Structure 1
Amino acid sequence: MTGRHVTLFSPTQDTIHRWLAGAVLLLMLVCGLATSADAKLTFRQNKHLYQAQKALQVGDAQQCVTMIHSYTTEYPDDIPYPFYSLLGACYHQLNDYPKAAEAFATALKLQPDDAQLSINLATCYYLDGHYDQAGRQFSHSYQLQQAKDPQLLYQSAVAFIQGEHYRQAKQSLTSLINSGATIKANWYELLLSCHIELKEWQQGQQLLDRLLQQQPEHEPYWRLKAQIALQQEKYKQAASALEVTLRLHGDNRDDLTQLAGLYGYLRAPLRAADLLKRAYQDTPTPENSLKIARLYHQGYAYDEALAEVDAALHRSPKNSELHSLKAQLLYDRGSYQQLLALSPTTARPRQHLLQGYAAWHLGQWETARTHFKQALGDRRFRSQARNALDVLDLLAQAEQESNAAI
């Protein structure tokens, strides 16, 4: 059993996805274009830009696009950045994010220090699903700002995470946490998700311990603690964390069965069996009853194992594996008379082999011989049954010779 072979939950991913669902990007396109003090537009430029902007303001984005293209076609060498910025806003309103991004990128080349243009470009990258570019552009927008807005670093991190660029997301989150802004819990949660995705188990564990100090009753943290421990093959710590999860969250079949699997690996079969009984309650399948009974068997709790098998046989009277396990349990417990009393109609070769040994213990040689002969039909037990019959023949011969000598 290794950590990479164990899935504790749709777990980790479910938790991270919940955190991301709460990471709402406040994507705002700001286009105060015609009044920009540093644009230095000519009368002609102002006139055309004003007319195009009026079309956008009344909701006719397509007309705005047409008017801008008309101007750029007529005056291809006289296109200041506000035209491209307004064009980007039009395409954004038309949900044509690739063209919007192209327009904002052109505007930003002409006005490279404009933080809002950079934010607009990042927004369009994000809406178009280019999360890597969006993450980098949001981070660059933060650097361009004179009055720094930490929200841009947060948006950068979220974009990187959605694009599965976890190392870059970690850098944005680290900058955000160190920015001097009031720290929010979900910043640490997203950073933790990055550590987990990057398999940085030690850093993740350290951060998670800090979060647990602040919120010791927050069940998802304990669930993550269990997974991180599993990934490091620290199975006792994983079991301990899952025990806390159960106490906080209540019984959950998936948690109970996963914890039972851990205890089975840790050679604590009785605890594993008890957990499985809680998981399946009063209606386990025959397969689950077999798991529970075998765990009790491993822990030498024969009475509990037999009770589980008998209850399962009441529900599934023809299940051969249950009958076989019952025979083994009776033999191991030394209940030879009960073993011999089992119905012959359900007997399989293994049961006959065990009944033969039971009869042997009781000195019932002919009964033992009968059962061993029945076991010869299965090649898995043929050698054992043949050896037992040979010994019985030797004993019978010795008894005859002894009687003759007397």
Structure 2
Amino acid sequence: MGGIGDDRRDTLAATAGGVLPMKLRTVGAALVLGAMPVAGVAETYNVTVAAGHPPVFRWVRMISEQFIPTVQAGLEGSGHTMTFSEQYGGAIAGVGEELEAVEAGLAEIGTCQALFDPAKLAVQNVTYYTPFVSDDVRQVATTVDAMHDDNPDMLRAYADNGVVYIGAPIGIDDYLLMTNFPVDSLDDLDGRKIAAPGAAINWLSGTGAVGVAGNLTTYYNEIKTGVYDGVIVFASAALPGKLYEVAPHITKFGLGAQYAGSLCANEAWYDALPDEVKAALEAGADAAMQWYHDDLESFVEIALTKMQEAGATVTEATPEMRAQWADGMDNAARVWADELDAQGRPASAILSAYMDAMRAAGATPLRDWDKE
């Protein structure tokens, strides 16, 4: 029995009815680890894990606190051991450079950040082209993870770049607007410089704001020094990043939860692993996904409360303001999908599959981006 990367890549050549659902993978991994005899010679694996963000962020902490311990526990009794060198905060790869570091063999495993590597992980950015769909972060993340199980087009981007998707999807809680000025209407954004990550800069179309590319590692200082007046960000990162100190006006527009990336492994390294080691990585990714979203969901309201206690003002945008923002946006999803379709990457099919899955799960998007 192969590991998670083997199973997922098998879908590239198999029909949908010919592949077992990967949602059985946690149970399957446990059975494999408990029953599979040791194959070949016992090995000690020295693994470097890379993340551009520092360990203050949850998607990095999940590696230390859940992924690594679960992998090591899963290898007990197999004869194999795995030690990890954790290289975070840009030690060997900056934000958005992790995939390249893993591909080049500088790290065996890394956080492949689709949000910050849109050229190579283009179709994985589908959620960032579809705001105002859902604030249910677990549903968004598990939907995209399931699409990697079911849709071979989701896997090709990894294979084309010498890496393997191993799971642990990074869901991002509902995006907020944080500014150094109050926002009572969308007119207040006119002419203001607002930073946003990756494709989220498209969300500012129609608002009158001037979009500026940015990321969590630079937001604080750049707001403080006047590079821009606010950011599109999420509560669970805004609190540890202390953004409330420089952008104390928080407006909840319900821009939506998102999928930002996952863990990936160097393909050549992964392919050489015994099945029982792949199964341990599989179990670690599943455990990390569960831990991450449990911890995230319990923390979001705490983060908002703590920022209020520290002096921030939290305002809920009216339904009319939300509708005005959504209706005024360009349909960047349609442009994105058409451009990728022309390159032979079926983004329109991915867009429809994602929107259909979210609607089936109960989401009520403010705009049906796939149908316009």
Query: Same fold per TM (> 0.5)?
Result: no
Structure whose CA Rg is larger: 1
Higher helix share: 1
- Normalised to the residue count of structure 1, the TM-score between the two structures is 0.19
Higher RCO (Cα < 8 Å, 6 or more apart): 2
Higher strand share: 2
- Normalised to the residue count of structure 2, the TM-score between the two structures is 0.20
